[in-house]
Amino acid sequence: MEQNCIFCKIARHEIPSQIVFEDEDVVAFKDVKPVAPVHIVIIPKEHISGVMAITEENGDILTKIFLAAKRLAQETGIDKTGFRVVVNHGREAGQSVFHLHFHLLGGRPLSWPPG
């Protein structure tokens, strides 16, 4: 974990957040600026800076993240209506925290392409 990374601090419970799921490898919490009725951020506890930092050694975290997303979609009921899982990489894509994270969005119709 990185000392000054806000998501690492959330994973270490140093910053208050509304955690909705946690296991030994993954933490999920409600986004502080939601863009949909269901907007949950899912992160690996291990600090991985983004998509381009995923390796064969740490790649199994992707399965764990998607299983957490599936579980949370079921728990929130968006599995019945539809949802989106979004990951951004790099500043031009909108990544503002450089710790790999996935947004689980649902609870309203989502347009495409996103703005």
Residue 97 CA to residue 109 CA, distance in Å, equals 26
User: Hey, what are 6's tokens?
Assistant: 């806000």
Residue 90 CA to residue 99 CA, distance in Å, equals 11
Q: What is the DSSP string of 49-94?
A: -SGGG--TTTTTHHHHHHHHHHHHHHHHTHHHH-EEEE---SGGGT
Among all residues, which ones are annotated catalytic?
101
